[in-house]
Amino acid sequence: MSSTKEEAPAVRVLGLWASPFVIRVLIALRLKGVEHEVLEEVVGKKSELLLRSNPVHKKIPVLLHHGKPISESLIIVQYIDEVWSSNAPAILPADPYVRAVERFWAQYIDDKFPRGIRILKGTVDGNKDEIVEQLSTALQLLEEAFLKLSNGKHYFGGDNIGYLDIALGSHVGWVRAVEKIAGVQLLDAAKVPHLVAWADRFCAHPAVVDVLPSADRFVEYSVKYGSFFPTRPSLPTE
């Protein structure tokens, strides 16, 4: 006898549309063609499902796969690549050395960009001129990394979006938003021309275009919620 209770989707994402860390997960799922449901958290209030699913950090994003939770955005992206390995494209590079290099740069990105963006938004204290210089330097280093890793192709991952594209690309919306908010220029075509062209291609990619909002929408979110922007993969209440 069949149950009248509707079963939950096999893949669910607990998150919030404005979080770059949630955006990473959604891009990875779309790249792999994995059907999923997004459960939007409410700003300022953590759901019981989130608290049960990530009791240690109590942060988004969380991927629920057949009810089993996986936390931390870059770990989730790797999990998606491994579980749906037969679904093209591969997200992480096959070569162990290149994979290690991309993981290094992904960590570098998360060490630099979230806090820098908060300072430029004015939601945490910090010297904005120093942060602009630091982020500009970071982008120039990433420009060099792009030239080495892309091998003359469109993405860090080569012909298609890969792990490092997702790691950096998830911050592009907020980078462009704080350029407007703070009146600064970070993605400067005169300094990082290849990265600027890469960002345009990334944002227009079919797996990205519907999950990465415009800079204007991020600006509106910033005005509405101010200090709620997360410093790490977390719900915007911390």
Same domain, 46 and 19: yes
Question: What CATH number has the domain bearing residue 118?
Answer: 1.20.1050.10
| Inside any domain, residue 21 | yes
pLDDT at 7: 65
Residue 159 pLDDT > 80, yes or no? yes
At 6, the pLDDT band (50, 70, 90 cuts) reads low
At 116, the pLDDT band (50, 70, 90 cuts) reads very high
Same domain, 32 and 73: yes
Nearest alpha carbon to residue 8 among 28, 37, 35: 37
Residue 4 pLDDT > 90, yes or no? no
Task: Give tens-digit pLDDT for 90-109.
Answer: 999 999 999 999 999 999 99
At 234, the pLDDT band (50, 70, 90 cuts) reads very low
Task: Give tens-digit pLDDT for 40-74.
Answer: 999 889 999 999 999 999 999 999 999 999 999 99
Determine if residue 25 is left, alpha or beta; phi over 0 gives left, psi from -120 to 50 gives alpha, anything else beta: alpha
Whether the pTM exceeds 0.85: the reply is yes
The span from the CA of 50 to the CA of 14, in Å, is 7
Question: What CATH number has the domain bearing residue 16?
Answer: 3.40.30.10
Same domain, 218 and 113: yes
The span from the CA of 112 to the CA of 11, in Å, is 31
Cis peptide before 55 (omega within 30 of 0): no
Residue ending a domain, among 38, 58, 83, is 83
